[in-house]
Structure 1
Amino acid sequence: MLPTVILPGYLEGAIAYLPLQQSLQNLGFPTFTVPLRRRDWLPTLGGRPVTPILQQLDQTVKLALAQSSTGQINLIGHSAGGWISRIYLGEKPYLGCNELNLIAPGNAHHHIATLLTLGTPHISQERWTRWNLDFVNDNYPGAFYAGVRYVCVAGKTIFGDRRPGKWLAYSSYQQTCGVGNTWGDGITPIVAAHLQGAENLVMENVYHSPRSPKTWYGSPEILPTWVSYLT
């Protein structure tokens, strides 16, 4: 099994992903979670560059590669972690990234066998994230690198509506894809979680957050539906 790296979602720390990390390790995948703390996201607020996250991702990928006999790993990005991973795979300078001690520009994608995104908003109408996502989609549209297997997992759990219990989903979907009355995982609408040319999956009754008291993408009962794509 290839070593696997988990990149947490926006404003989330590594601790929330430890159960998923342990589940993958139990299945034979040497697994590493990028050791983010919630405060590590503060420099990125307001649509600012995600450079600090890319730095920690790169350090963790290098750690995982040291245990790989093939020179490749799997990369799992939850929520914003998915589109940040797409920046990491890329070879074009991302603000100051070309000045960082990252894997040589243009080489990172050669080390990724599979990029698997969980509830990632690959598009956005929200002005604070629009610049970053426009950079990603303008430079690396869809399943951009032929040598990388792209797998995008979406949840079909809540239909957004302007009524109690569904208003948060409606608002989040509208800010993401411009339409509130659609299906998604409560935060990310299905239409935003998929990429053209990727292997796109839809899972019923899966909630967005690893802190949800209900089933989320990394819950033990959901894991078998997508883990086979990492083998």
Structure 2
Amino acid sequence: MPPVVLLPGYLAGQAPYRGLVTAAQSLGVAIQVVPLRWWDWLPTLGGRSVAPILEPLDHTIQQVQQQYPGEKITLIGHSAGGWISRIYLGQTPYYGRVWGGAARVARLVTLGTPHTSQERWTRKNLDFVNTEYPGAYHPEIQYICIAGQAVQGRKWTLAYESYRLTCGQGDAWGDGITPVAAAHLAGAENLTLPSVWHSPSSPGEWYGSPGVLPQWLPRCHASSDTKC
């Protein structure tokens, strides 16, 4: 099977994904999580460059490819890790560096990624992504965008405020952090999972739970011709 690398979400390290890795192993899929610590994200606060995250992502992918010569990888990005992965794929200089990851990636899978935002700090990077690489930009890459539909936003709740800052509609449905509409990309294979929450710390099953993983991982990992 092609190798798989997972980029954690905002302010997340490697540890919260251990359950996902174990569940994936039971399905015959080995996942290498980029070895971040939560404090590795601190230099990116306030809309600054996410190069401190892109660097370990690139290093991890190169290490994995040394183990699988000639193989392109499946890249999974959780939450902000999804749009950061879109920067990694591109050829446009980002803070003076071209990452060019499209040459090393066969498939991008995003889990609860806010591909849009109305929050001013996040928009600094997301506007770059969506201007330079709109939608499923690279035709040679299979894009699979997975949303959770666990809770409708209600006033005075975290979900409402998060949805409002992401898509402008607080009473939308989503995974408790990312509304469904923002988690999908034009031209991608878009999948919505009912009753699925955003992260391992959520009150219910999330994208990486043992009961949820079989709903998307086998189909999205099998081959470029397999559709979610």
Q: TM-score, normalised by structure 2?
A: 0.93
CA distance in 2, matches of 1:31, 1:189: 26
4+ aligned runs moved over 6 Å, structure 1: none
Tell me the CA shift for residue 30 of structure 1: 3.0
CA contact under 8 A between 1:110 and 1:147: conserved in structure 2? no
1:135 to 109, 128, 131: 128
Q: Does residue 174 of structure 1 match 2:167? A: no
Residue type at the aligned position of 1:33: V
- Structure 2 gaps, min length 5: 223-228
Tell me the CA shift for residue 181 of structure 1: 1.3
CA distance in 1, matches of 2:202, 2:155: 22
C-alpha deviations, 1:27-73, integer Å up to 9, x for none?
33332100000100000011111000000000111111112244201
Tell me the CA shift for residue 213 of structure 1: 4.2
Report 1:13-162 matches (<5 A).
Answer: 13-98=13-98, 105-106=99-100, 108-162=101-155
CA contact under 8 A between 1:6 and 1:33: conserved in structure 2? yes
CA distance in 2, matches of 1:121, 1:56: 21
Which residue number in structure 2 is paired with residue 186 of structure 1?
Answer: 176
1:203 to 179, 182, 193: 193
Residue type at the aligned position of 1:76: I
CA distance in 2, matches of 1:230, 1:59: 22
Tell me the CA shift for residue 16 of structure 1: 0.3
Aligned to 2:129, what secondary structure does the other structure show? helix
CA distance in 1, matches of 2:52, 2:69: 28
CA contact under 8 A between 1:2 and 1:29: conserved in structure 2? no
> Residues 96 and 18 (structure 1 numbering): CA distance in 2 closer, same or farther, change over 3 Å?
farther
C-alpha deviations, 1:56-98, integer Å up to 9, x for none?
0001111111122442010000000000000000011000334
Sequence identity percentage: 57
C-alpha deviations, 1:154-191, integer Å up to 9, x for none?
0111111115xxx2111000000111111000000001
Tell me the CA shift for residue 18 of structure 1: 1.2
CA contact under 8 A between 1:142 and 1:198: conserved in structure 2? yes
CA contact under 8 A between 1:51 and 1:96: conserved in structure 2? no
- Structure 1 gaps, min length 5: 99-104
Which residue number in structure 1 is paired with residue 226 of structure 2?
Answer: none
